[in-house]
Structure 1
């Protein structure tokens, strides 16, 4: 009844392929939930829209875990069959799922499903239905057998359940007993804990008593020592007193001795009397004795303090000596590095000087050749003009002195040798000269010697002997070649220039632009050159492809033109001041500024702005004074696209580049971004509004090319000053003890990264100011000016996305040899094995620069690039048992390893003592290797990950942490710097 209530839908014959599949896709969820593929597949195979392979894939594919997924996959396979697949599906639904068919199509099921599709004949359908019914009966019988087996299985499972319930009751009783025993055990453990605490308190009191006893013993020892010292001093004093007494007795005259002896004998008696008679004197003496004893005790205490201070000073002295030794080793290493770099710079400078000398010689030779060519052409033209004048005079003289009827005798003359007629008259025996192929003087052309043919004939007749046909042919070819060469030279000189009106007086010191093919045409402008080779004006446009070179008065150039853009889009002329020199010569908005040339301090300078930032372009244009030469390229479409982005606030400028920060900058006012050393920044504006020495930049997500927190950072030149100031502060900071310095260096993050570059390897972050080479320029000064070194607060980086597992390089090298095999034993890692090569193979691989490092095992045993690639193709990480030298070789092959540096301290080295001893290494070697390789990490063109020495406790935890780091580093973007040297 439900099917009768459904309104009649559109006839399926009238529906196209897309409409049928749109109808099925609208009810895809309903079909996936209500249809079993195994029921529909026999009909679909009968309709030849599914094959046996498709049936196996739908039924037995492990990825299709439930019925809905198998039904959806079947629909996808039918979709590839087009209209036949859709019709066969609907017919199968009409046969096996009529209700679902009505819900999908809105039509009642028909008794003849093939009447609208034509896929299956009616007889074939009957046969198919018979087979289907037979199959279903077999399935029903099998289902009944399966039900009987399941009932038997159910009875056995019920008996098992009863047994399990009995076992569960027993287990419950045992569990309650276990809980009771556990509570009793907890109470006993609590009492044991109390006893342990009491024992610990007693032990602490006992330890305190022992320490107190030790302190009392030490105090008693000090007092006994002081008493001994006082007794020694007292004995010494008594000895000195006795000596002085004997000396005084010897020095006293014999006459005075008896009275003195009597006085000495009487002193004890008097002292006894005084003591008896004066008790106050006795108290005073006792008080003096007590004060003397106190003063001695105080002096002994001072002496002990001084000894402790002496020991402390001795300890500090020893620490300073150790620090001095470390610094001396560093000084020696830096000295060796400095010497190596000096030698390298010397070699590079010598090569640059040789190249400059060769270039100067080539320029000089080119100038001389061009000057000679121009001089020869000019002399040739002058001689031709003189020849034409002489010929005109000859013709005029012949016309005056010879009548018209005697003109045929002129055929016997050689105009190039006037004395030939005299020789003929004096030697009648000689045959008469005849010009066989010369021009007939009776022709009408001979009456017009100024004509072009007459001039040509006069040029051809230069020999006394009559020329033959071959000679005439060669002369005609030579004359034609000369004329064509002259025409070509003239055309090549003229087609490079389009003259503009002169806007002012010419500057004689302004250098002329070279032609488009690189030749210097300054030497052509000589007084001997013909008029058409001389330049009457210097303000000209040279056409070179799509680039225009315009010369004009560029004083205060930024007031004449305004520019927009940057390194990503190019620097374009945005506005031109009306009435200015730039407007007069035809500069218009939409032209990209490719290059600017001008003269400063009698030197011709050239700056390329094709890929410069907006900040660099404005600085370069601000340096122009006097005549300048702009190279422009019309790019109106790109300029309009940039204006549209600027107006819609999609971007603020045309700048976009990524840099690696080589210093730490704290956060400041006005939205200054806080950055740390080795951070990656995306610079999007080098001239933000309101600031002149800042850039607008954003921090970059480590795993995706997304901008995070944004703000302003110091521009390149201000950051360079901050970097120099930071280095000065670090150099002149107060010296501390070795122990404190080491602990501070371990906890403190890296503040700066020293990166320098020479001018011969141009830094892309500043404008290239190239000096045009002249004859008066000293090659030594030029080389000295270009060999300077500059500290770089930012370095340009480019992102790379490694598609497969990256190799792993563990540092320091001594520790890497210990951990490489352990790490390679884990799943997903494999150690790079060396290869044994023949001499020819090694030479070929060495020529291709594919040897990463030579092995110590043998002469022809080495680690190659193919070995690393072979492991990477397996989809696993290749563990590199190599040093830092292999990083740049891998980068040249577009392979970017994961570099992990494990920081070391004396405490962490002790944890690996046993592992190092197995490798024949010691703790001192590990610490020395760590100290020597850590400074080299900053010279790498890529980032590395550093592991703190206190972040792991043993080798197992270190390996676990390394796996986590490798997994994190694999997801990150690899930022690579260009080679600066």
Structure 2
């Protein structure tokens, strides 16, 4: 179909870099399955878009298990070469896979010699192949001999490592015994403390009893004193009575009146009777109170005797406890001596292990030097062989005349083949590069930018002792190597913008990234991207210039990316206060000088974490652009005071790793979870965010907690990849088996472009505006692992299309699924050659149909079914997803996991469609790694969740019903 069409519109050589790579990415799935890296590499090597290290990594990496993964990885490497990589890839497809080239570009392949630049002449190709084969055979024999010697050496080293592991196991046993003794000692100390507390309680009760006894004695003494006073008064009354009686007798001389005598006689009787009644009553009361006091005194004496007995028992118990304490003290001293001896032994073991590591490093260094010398000798041997071949060729072809320039080129080609020639006369044997995910910089001899970030090291030297020690410390101590990697990558996201209006030119990295001026405590921005020069700065903006030394000590800020960053407090007497900066002003941007370069940071849409980091970089004169927004500032303050929000930050991210729940409210995360980040600086901390899990069907926050911020999560992701990379082959196989039954723990997402990340700061070098944007250092790109990717919610208003994977199984189940009510199969359209070319240019063609040459599945056919309010079943592959997303159509992607047992259940259905079980399993293995590159979530069906086709279809109906209700989260295109 596409092979007969006449190319219309622009030629491929006239297309820009973004258009070429957009065309390739749309057909990435087709290229990965239809092309072979081994057939394309020779031409790509001639075109100088791949070097020997890239080819060796593509063909020899153990992580790339099939040709589809190798082809996909080769496309990622070619993407870093820009437009040259895209053109070379299309030309190689035109040579080796003309049909695939026509399907990708919609143009006829042209194989005229003038269309291929830089190729070897056909007359010289056989000679080069003979030389390469001869050299490779000799190198293969030498490599086998060397491999035998190295295997014996590795066996001896493995035995030494086994001995060291046994010693390490013994040290672990000693440590566990030491911990057990410490726990036992702590329990004994706890018992002693408990006994001391009980003894203190007994002493307190005894003291209280003594105080009560003293109070009773004092009360008894007072009562005795009152009795004595009453007796004294009674005696005094009796004496007065006798005195009055005698006086009255002396005064009775006059007896003239009988009445007076009678009164005198009756008066003493009355007085004595009344006095006796009073004394009798007082005596009875005194006797009663004295008996009561005597009873109380007797009770107190009995209680005092009991307390004395308890005191004696406590004294005896105290003596026993003192003996036990002395015994425990002796035991503690003995355990301390034992622990000191064990620690000394552990130090000796540590020293012996370090010595063993040093010996191993020296051996590896010696091996590396031997390899380097062998490489030199091999190069010299190849040069001599080439010289001999040239002499033989000149002797055999004496009748033919060669020009002086060609003869000189033949003589010098062996010498320059290792440096400049895109195809070397031999394929140099190289060892596998050591994968070190903790290293964020790749030492590429062809790269002029030493700050290029990568997770692979291309250095041929073995790891030194410092590297191994840092690796050990990273596993057990403070992750010093990761902190250094963080400090090296703090300014990776800040870029100089020579020409921000041109999207075809690469962004150059900040030249001060390697100066080491940033401390590891300063937190760089979360996710940054370059922004175009057309800034969203509206309203009245005031620019103020002043001395910004220690700017964060002069003013405090609040807010975030949702509300804007506002000045909250200004220190009195500071330079900011002097120039008139007041709370309530929004900070739009800041300009300052750093390393003799003028930098500009736009803070209009930045998070609070980014704003604090950016303002902390100001160390001299600066210029702040402020916009007065007092109403928005007061509204933010009211929300913060009423606890409606904790900051002005608000964005959604997709998690690309799994972390368990931790202390202090750390939120558990799983791969592909959606989090709502509400505060990037909770409580002033620099390494955590406040986030909440999001309801799958509604935009509601569920469980909240703290999560690692972007750079701490990046370190954890690198550490997880490092642990996986350094496993042995046996443990790797076991891990693969376990990983099939569990959820994905890590999703590898990397970015090679700085223009697609969500929360950003624009840094512009004013001096570089007039410089040439085509500088080689500016065109270098870098790759960075992303623990979080920004996502945006979408709410499809109608039924979403259905895409079943693997594609072979989807072809089998599509018609069954389309037979249900509410589902319809997408039908292809018949297009003419001109119409096909126009729609292909507009990216409206989703995939070519196998039924007819002029049939293809278009975007309009999908929209036609969706307008009916039913699900459109797509009999397509993964290439259609990005095209549908551009049209705001978000399909439901369901991947049905396969195993040998499940493939046998579908044998009959596969045979009807001329497919086999092996083809189904191969398609599943090739398409499953490509799912992580999709910009949206997908649903995976476990192989053991269904037993036959009927149960599988029922399971699919339930999944479609659940996925239709969910929010669609889409992340931006990172490449």
TM-score (norm 2): 0.46
The answer to which structure, 1 or 2, has the higher relative contact order (CA under 8 A, 6+ apart) is: 2
TM-score (norm 1): 0.46
Structure with bigger gyration radius: 1
